[in-house]
Amino acid sequence: MKIHQYTSIDSLALILKNKTIRFKRLDKMDDIEEAALSNAGIHLGGFMFVSCWTYNENESIPLWRMYTPTTRGVRISLDKDMFKKHIVTKEELEKYHIQTNEQNFSSIIPLTKMFTTQYTILNTFWNENFFYQKIEYTDDLNQIYNSLIQNNSNNVSLNFENVGRFKHKHWEFQDECRFRLIILPNDNINIEDEKYETYIFSCVKDERFPIIDSFFIELKDDVFDNLTITLSPYATEADKVIVNALCKEYAPNAHIIDSSLKGKVRI
């Protein structure tokens, strides 16, 4: 299954050169509502990092208009299973106190990049049902907000499952799907430390977000062999030259096509 992202030629160049996909903090995205103000008055969007795509195979005039420059834009289409898997050694599993019954365990993020002195990436992305989500559109975001933080007599629980999963119905035209990461701040506290949970709750309450705004995940070595690049409906000859040169250097097997909207719309 292929998914699609509308972006600029400049961003395409970085994706091809670095062979990475950028994850951005949810509260930095264009939908202000989905910063996810919970019923407790706390924004959880600052702890969720996302990479946004669309599953709609048909080209979208609004997405061309919103997310690409008039000419220097492209739509990239990649297999959903695009991320490189890193083998996790037995020593790493022991070091980071991870238990698994799998003999050959792998992770799209190396463990050394998950657990750092400045931030911690939770292993929720090991769960495909959490990591990749089709956005659900609703008229009642308050119901979602009310599900994010639960208080009971003994403790407070955070429900990140619904963060970055719902948008208001007026965004329904996007047919959006996305990958999600939970990244929490750290102050050189070991995740196994009994103080860690208290520390995280204090960060959430005080809205002390991770010091990073973006995180990049590596793509598979052969991912560009099945890459399709759709040129903007208003692509110039110069745009074509640049995209062809980029692909010749970094993705010689990529398929470059003209927009199906070429000559049909004024964006």
pLDDT in tens, 106-115: 999 999 999 8
- Tokens 């052969």 belong to which residue? 222
Say how far apart CA 22 and CA 15 lie, in whole Å: 8
How much is the pLDDT for 155?
Answer: 64
Over the stretch 183-221, which tens digit does the pLDDT of each residue have? 999 887 777 777 777 888 888 888 889 999 999 999 999
Per-residue pLDDT at 239 exceeds 70: yes
Query: What pLDDT does 37 receive?
Result: 62
**CA–CA separation, 152 and 258 (whole Å):** 56
39 versus 252: the higher-pLDDT residue is 252
Instruction: Give the pairing of strands 20-25 and 86-87.
Output: unpaired
Q: CA–CA distance from 135 to each of 33, 63, 116, 140, 174 (Å)? A: 14, 16, 30, 14, 9
- Most confident of the ranges 34-38, 40-44, 124-128, 252-256: 252-256
With cut-offs at 50, 70 and 90, classify the pLDDT of residue 38.
Answer: low
- Which alpha helices (DSSP H) does 68-136 contain, by range? 90-95, 111-114, 128-131
Both tokens of 198, joined, read 């208290």
The candidate with the shortest Cα–Cα distance to 258, out of 73, 78, 80, is: 73
Residue 3 bridge partners (DSSP): 78
Which residues are within 8 A (CB) of 263 and not within 5 positions of it... i.e. 6 or more apart?
233
Check residue 153 and give its pLDDT: 53
pLDDT-based confidence at residue 237 (cuts at 50, 70, 90): very high
Q: Write down the pLDDT at residue 53.
A: 98
pLDDT category of residue 161 using cuts at 50, 70 and 90: confident
Q: What is the pLDDT of residue 200?
A: 81
Global confidence as pTM: 0.91
Q: Tell me the pLDDT of the chain averaged across its residues.
A: 90
% of the chain surpassing 70 pLDDT: 94
Q: Domain coordinates of the chain in residue numbers?
A: 2-257
